[in-house]
Structure 1
């Protein structure tokens, strides 16, 4: 089979399955894994796919809408599982930061319904509105520049406020991880720099995200695996990713 034929066949596999793995493609086409990696790089350069850790996805495959309003009900069952796990990490009398995240909206609901006495700081209006219903929770908003698409605050003014705090735990949203260079990503620089400020002000740092985000990443890298303590997810990813996370000292919850 010629290179062009094999690459066309790879695209067909992607269209049928949504994602492909280097190892399985190597076995399917009877070529080396290095050969497949070169194919994937060529196809990525032409805009036909996006490489991921150990494989590839269609470049437009991840259906994450950018606006929070659109994302609230996407994978809601998985977000509730993640929120339950995150809730179990929080102890009474802690100071907690909840980042802009539709999963953290579910976590806020659990906190609001509980009898845990905590201080919660957040830069997301939805979260503040939910938590203020519980008189046992001291609710603090960061303020700053308001971004309508995420219904929250980001940027320089927000960062200056965050620098003044010392959080026991922080729960950070993410657009995915880059398993090649072991980083956590988000959409843009304002959100990324705000998340960095949270990390610098926190003792225990957790990323909250669905399992599928282990196979996707976005444009801005706001943290290395060394910067976080754990990832709270609905279901463990494949064993190769688990081993990489364990080697980096990242706890999977």
Structure 2
């Protein structure tokens, strides 16, 4: 099989399955893993895919670049599973930070329905509107520059408010994990710097994200994995990812 034919075949597998593994492709085409990695790099340069830890996914099909308004109804059941797990970690009278995240919208719904007395700071308008329904919740907005695409506040003004607090727990959204250098990523610098401030102001830090984001990373790295206490997900990732997280002391929920 010629190189071009193999790469076309890899594209076909990607379209059918949504993601591929280097090891599996190596066995499928009877070539070395290094050969497959070169194929994936070529296809990534052509805009056909996005390389990930141990494989690749279809870059054009991944929904991370959608606005928050578009993502609210994406994978709702998975986000509800994640939110339920996160809710179990919260204790009475704690101070919580909820980052801009459609998963955190589901968590805010659970908090709003609870009977707990909490202080919750958020930079996302959707979350603040939900929490305001419960008189036992002290809901505090960061203010700052309003970004319509995320329906929330980012940047220096929001960061200044966040740094005034000492949070018991922070639940952070993510656009994916870079397994190569063990970092957590997001789309842009303003969001990344705001997230970083919240992490630095919190005793316990968690990323809330769907399983598929273990195999995808975005452009801005806002924290190292070992800075997190845990990652809350709908379904555990592959064993190799679990082993790596365990070695860094990052719990999976």
Q: Same fold (TM over 0.5)?
A: yes
Secondary structure at 1:116 match in 2: coil
Structure 1 residue 117 displacement after superposition? 0.9
8 Å CA contact 1:185, 1:220 repeated in 2: yes
Partner of 2:35: 35
Aligned residue pairs, count: 253
Q: Counterparts of 2:69 and 2:215 in 1: how far apart (Å)?
A: 24
Q: Residue 149 of structure 1: CA displacement?
A: 1.1
Alignment of 1:157-176 (within 5 A): 157-176=157-176
Task: State the partner residue of 1:126.
Answer: 126
The CA deviation at 1:114 is: 0.7
Cα offset, 1:65, TM superposition: 4.8
Structure 2 match to 1:87: 87
Maintained 8 Å contact 2:63/2:71: no
Measured in 1, the distance between the counterparts of 2:250 and 2:176 equals 15
Secondary structure of the 2:60 match is coil
Q: Is the 8 A contact 1:155 1:190 kept in 2?
A: yes
CA distance in structure 2 between the partners assigned to 1:47 and 1:149 by the alignment: 24
Task: Measure, in 1, the Cα distance between the counterparts of 2:141 and 2:24.
Answer: 49
TM-score calculated relative to the size of structure 1 = 0.97
Q: Which residue of 1 aligns with 2:234?
A: 234
Q: What TM-score do the two structures reach when normalised by structure 2?
A: 0.97
Show the counterpart of 1:145. Answer: 145
Equivalent residue number for residue 106 of structure 1? 106
In structure 2, the gaps of 5 or more residues are: none
Q: Deviations along 1:156-206, whole A, 9 cap, x unmatched?
A: 111111111100000001111111111111110000000000011011000
More displaced stretch, 53-62 vs 75-84? 53-62
Aligned CA RMSD, in angstroms, stands at 1.1
Q: Deviations over 1:180-237 (max 9, x none)?
A: 1111111100000000000110110000011111111111111111211111001101
CA distance in 2, matches of 1:81, 1:190: 28
After superposition, give the CA deviation of every residue in 1:98-139 in whole Å (9 maximum; x if it has no partner).
Answer: 001111111111111111111100001111111111111111
8 Å contact kept, 1:65–1:71: no
Q: Equivalences for 1:16-95 in 2 at 5 Å? A: 16-95=16-95
Q: Secondary structure at the match of 1:218?
A: coil
Please, which runs of 5 or more residues in structure 1 have no aligned partner? Answer: none
Q: What residue number does 2:177 align with?
A: 177
